[in-house]
């Protein structure tokens, strides 16, 4: 492999654009940074040799060049951006409303949104963000990030570390900020040097050539932020594994015996002592208008829970022995934690029936005097109730959440006792022929119209149900670290700039050039301050002149 020797004697690696030592443009390599016939030098990466621009033979070279191109990177970003937008046109599958006529995505999208919904569904946009091709785009961005960063960081780091103060005239005169001062005294140069120091520039001198530099560390900002992004991508991949992430949803009823928490290998149980829903007071003067407009506004969702751990003493096969380990409340925005798990208040269902007590009376009796009563425990309904008075009641049908389906046939919408209804067979004392009675909330239907006995609801108890999410997510610290590193990197790269000013002694005066990676206004201000009180000429912005 041929190395390139510059006129100044320095030997540069293949692919160098600007001599590492004196900055002279290397003949034949200018096309690499698009420097052809341009007046100004392209200073990106200080004209160092980058692998991607230099080698293009083997397949690996080609892949490397492909992924290190910012153009490719931007295309990937744009692709992810457009795909993300399309995914929001209709709701994602998880956001299909609970009360939709059909929650089956195959039906829902076409039903709701017609032909576009059907297309949306068939192209898989209803689960876009976990679809393989979306993840492939994200993964490609990750690969691109790693390769482009390595491609640039290494040579740039070396070049800036070894840079010389003495640069060739052709390097200075082709910088964007440049001036020639024909006469400059030593005192004036001294003043400039002092002013530069006052502005916190680091000064490097070689044979009267000066390089003043500040904010070099900001050049590493992009690489730092890319590392942060890579950590976030890694965290997202790890999160797919059960070691890092577990999530379960559990409905817990008030007053129910502790139930095992799914996802904890039977180790933990949970009990719902009380579910509390509070609303903002109507009487609060401040909010009167808003509440009048919108109706009651909830102020608190809370579940008072007890978490139990199964005791070591538990005999296999027998009921678990439980030790309470946590008693507390879970509120929206205020989850509870135990062991590695976090419990979130996620949903609720008010007023499920716990038990119902029925009274048997004679249909003809207007007083409805009870002949006997019985109680159906809805957490454990029995098939048959034998009463002391000799009545026998058989539960023929039970609809926990009664409604009439589209064919007018009784059915249960859910398995939860939200609106219980029954078909009872009532056997009077010493009788083998039953009367059929349909009883529900606000309903009491006598199928034949000839029943001698009738059932009435004497009493009932209700409870609330709390929906809790139980989960652990061990990837969180990794996401946190990634995000923090990203922020450090962006701030480092954006809020500071790498500014350099070169001073090159000429016959009686000096040549001065300046370069910054961003914020040209800022470096011009710096230079104005630096030359104050001297006759040194202000640099001219050659790019501006170019445009005119």
Partner 1 sequence: MDILSVSSGALYSAFVLYLIATLFFGATVRDKRTDKKQHTVSAKIAITLTIIGFAAQIVYFITRWFASGHAPVSNMFEFMTFLGMCTVFAFIIIYFYYKLSFLGLFALPISMIIIAYASMFPTDVAPLVPSLQSHWLYIHVTTVALGQGILFISFVAGLMYLIKEIDQTVKSKKTMWLEIVIYILFIFIGFIGITSAFGMMNYNATFEYPSGGETIKSEYKLPAIAGPNEGTLITENVMEPWFETPNWLQGQDAGRKFNTVIWSLITGTILFVIVRLIIRKRVGAAIQPLFKNVKADLLDEIGYRSVTIGFPVFTLGGLIFAAIWAQIAWGRFWGWDPKEVWALVTWFFYAAYLHLRLSRGWHGEKSAWLAVIGFGIIMFNLIVVNLVLAGLHSYA
Residues at the contact surface with partner 1, assessed by CB under 8 A: 34, 42, 44, 70, 73-74, 77-78, 80-81, 84-85, 87-89, 91-92, 94-95, 97, 99, 112-114, 128-129, 247, 280, 284, 286-287, 289-291, 293-294, 297-301, 331-335, 342, 344, 346, 469, 471, 476, 479, 483, 486-487, 490-491, 494-495, 518-521, 541, 543-544, 547
Instruction: Report the candidate in 42, 61, 59 with the shortest Cα–Cα distance to residue 51.
Output: 61
CB of 173 to ligand HEM, least distance (A): 24
312 backbone φψ class: left, alpha, beta (φ>0; ψ -120 to 50): alpha
Question: Taking the complex as a whole, how short is the minimal distance between the CB of residue 219 and ligand HEM, in angstroms?
Answer: 6
* 222 scored as a contact of ligand HEM (CB under 6 A): yes
Least distance CB 233 / ligand HEM (angstroms): 9
How many residues bind ligand HEM (CB under 6 A)? The answer is 16
* Residue whose CB is less far from partner 1, 243 or 521: 521
Give, in degrees to the nearest 5, the angle at Cα 102 between 96 and 104.
Answer: 70
- 24, 152, 174, 209: residue in contact with ligand HEM (rule CB under 6 A): 152
Nearer to ligand HEM, 229 or 465 (CB): 229
Q: How far is CA 97 from CA 109, 296, 485, in A?
A: 12, 22, 38
**What's the CA dihedral at 122, 123, 124, 129 to 10 degrees?**
-160
Q: Which residue is nearest to ligand HEM (CB)?
A: 73
| Nearest in space to 374 (alpha carbons), one of 390, 359, 395, 389 | 359
Q: How far apart are CA 156 and CA 232, in angstroms?
A: 25
Provide the 3-class DSSP secondary structure of residue 501: strand
Question: Which residue's CB is nearer to partner 1, number 243 or number 495?
Answer: 495
Choose the stretch contacting ligand HEM; rule: CB under 6 A; options: 28-36, 102-110, 138-146, 252-260: 138-146
Query: Binding to ligand HEM by residue 417, rule CB under 6 A?
Result: no
Provide, rounded to whole angstroms, the least separation between the CB of residue 469 and partner 1. Answer: 5
Find the part of the chain contacting ligand HEM (CB under 6 A) among 130-138, 142-150, 183-191, 326-334. 142-150
Q: Give least dist CB 97 to ligand HEM, A.
A: 32
Smallest separation, CB 33 to ligand HEM (Å): 12
In 3D, which of 422, 419, 409, 410 has the Cα closest to residue 456?
422
Nearest approach in angstroms of CB 105 to partner 1 is 15
Residue 425: both structure tokens together: 């067979």
Question: In whole angstroms, how close is the CB of 280 to partner 1 at the nearest point?
Answer: 4
DSSP 369-417: --SEEEEEETTS--SEEE-TTS-EEEEEEEETBEEE-TTS-EEESSSS-
Binding-site partner at residue 152 among ligand HEM, partner 1, none, CB < 5 to 8 Å by type: ligand HEM
Whichever of 152 and 463 has its CB closer to ligand HEM, that residue is 152
In the complex with ligand HEM, the residue whose CB is nearer, 155 or 222, is 222
Nearer to ligand HEM, 181 or 517 (CB): 517
Label the pairing between strands 421-427 and 298-310: unpaired
What DSSP letter does each residue of 106-158 carry, written as one string? HHHHHHHHHHHHHHHHHTTGGGGGGSHHHHHHHHHHHHHHHHHHHHHHHHHHH
Q: Which is nearer to ligand HEM, 222 or 514 (CB)?
A: 222
Find the binder of ligand HEM among 482, 493, 509, 514 (CB under 6 A): 493
Q: CA triplet 454, 456, 461: central angle to 5 degrees?
A: 150
**362: three-class secondary structure by DSSP:** strand
List the single partner that 144 binds among partner 1, ligand HEM, none, CB under 5 to 8 Å by kind: ligand HEM
Cα-based distances in Å from 458 to 52, 122, 143, 265, 358: 84, 53, 70, 42, 5
Binding status of residue 17 toward ligand HEM by CB under 6 A: no
Q: Which of 17, 32, 96, 141 binds ligand HEM (CB under 6 A)?
A: 141
d(CA 151, CA 28): 21
Phi, psi of 269, deg, nearest 5: -125, 160
144 is a site residue for ligand HEM (CB under 6 A): yes
- What does 145 bind: ligand HEM, partner 1, none (CB cut-off 5 to 8 Å by kind)? ligand HEM
Residues with Cβ within 8 Å of 333's Cβ and at least 6 positions away in sequence, in order, are none
- For residue 291, the partner it binds in ligand HEM, partner 1, none, with Cβ less than 5 to 8 A by kind, is partner 1
481 binds, among partner 1, ligand HEM, none (CB under 5 to 8 A by kind): none
Rounded to an integer, what distance in angstroms lies between the CA atom of residue 333 and that of residue 299? 12
Tokens of 528: 């104005």
Query: Which residues contact ligand HEM (rule: CB under 6 A)?
Result: 70, 73, 76-77, 141, 144-145, 148, 152, 219, 222, 225-226, 229, 490, 493
């Amino acid at each position: 492999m041929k190395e390139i020797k510059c006129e100044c004697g320095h030997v540069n690696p293949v692919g160098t654009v600007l001599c590492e030592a004196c900055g002279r443009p290397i003949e034949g390599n200018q096309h690499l940074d698009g420097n052809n016939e341009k007046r100004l030098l392209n200073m990106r990466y200080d004209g160092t040799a980058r692998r991607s621009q230099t080698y293009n033979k083997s397949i690996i070279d080609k892949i490397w060049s492909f992924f290190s191109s910012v153009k490719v990177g931007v295309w990937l970003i744009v692709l992810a951006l457009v795909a993300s937008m399309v995914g929001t046109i209709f709701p994602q599958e998880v956001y299909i409303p609970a009360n939709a006529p059909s929650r089956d995505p195959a039906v829902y999208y076409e039903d709701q949104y017609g032909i576009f919904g059907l297309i949306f569904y068939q192209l898989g946009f209803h689960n876009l963000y976990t679809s393989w091709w979306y993840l492939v785009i994200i993964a490609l961005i990750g690969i691109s990030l790693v390769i482009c960063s390595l491609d640039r960081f290494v040579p740039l780091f070396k070049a800036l570390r070894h840079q010389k103060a003495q640069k060739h005239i052709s390097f200075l005169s082709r910088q964007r900020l440049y001036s020639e001062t024909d006469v400059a005294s030593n005192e004036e140069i001294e003043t400039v040097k002092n002013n530069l120091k006052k502005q916190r520039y680091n000064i490097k001198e070689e044979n009267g050539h000066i390089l003043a530099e500040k904010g070099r560390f900001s050049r590493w900002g992009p690489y730092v932020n890319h590392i942060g992004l890579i950590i976030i991508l890694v965290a997202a991949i790890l999160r797919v594994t059960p070691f890092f992430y577990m999530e379960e949803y559990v409905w817990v009823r008030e007053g129910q015996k502790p139930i095992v928490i799914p996802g904890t290998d039977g180790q933990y149980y949970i009990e719902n002592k009380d579910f509390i829903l509070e609303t903002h007071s109507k009487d609060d003067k401040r909010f009167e208008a808003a509440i009048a407009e919108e109706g009651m506004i909830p102020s608190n969702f809370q579940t008072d829970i007890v978490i139990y751990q199964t005791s070591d003493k538990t005999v296999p096969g027998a009921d678990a022995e439980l030790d309470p380990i946590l008693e507390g409340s879970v509120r929206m925005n205020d989850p509870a934690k135990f062991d590695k798990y976090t419990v979130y208040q996620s949903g609720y269902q008010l007023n499920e029936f716990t038990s119902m007590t029925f009274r048997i009376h004679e249909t003809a009796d207007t007083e409805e005097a009870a002949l006997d009563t019985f109680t159906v425990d809805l957490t454990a309904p029995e098939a048959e109730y034998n009463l002391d008075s000799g009545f026998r009641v058989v539960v023929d049908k039970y609809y926990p959440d009664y409604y009439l389906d589209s064919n007018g046939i009784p059915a249960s919408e859910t398995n939860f006792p939200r609106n219980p209804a029954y078909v009872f067979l009532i056997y009077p004392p010493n009788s083998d022929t039953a009367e059929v009675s349909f009883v529900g909330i606000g309903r009491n239907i006598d199928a034949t119209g000839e029943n001698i006995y009738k059932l009435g609801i004497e009493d009932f108890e209700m409870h609330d149900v709390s929906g809790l999410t139980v989960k652990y997510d061990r990837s969180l610290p990794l996401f946190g670290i990634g995000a923090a590193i990203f922020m450090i990197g962006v701030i480092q790269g954006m809020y500071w700039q790498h500014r350099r000013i070169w001073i090159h002694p000429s016959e009686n005066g000096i040549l001065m050039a300046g370069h910054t990676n961003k914020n040209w206004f800022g470096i011009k201000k710096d230079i104005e301050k630096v030359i104050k009180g001297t006759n040194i000429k202000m640099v001219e912005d050659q790019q501006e002149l170019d445009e005119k």
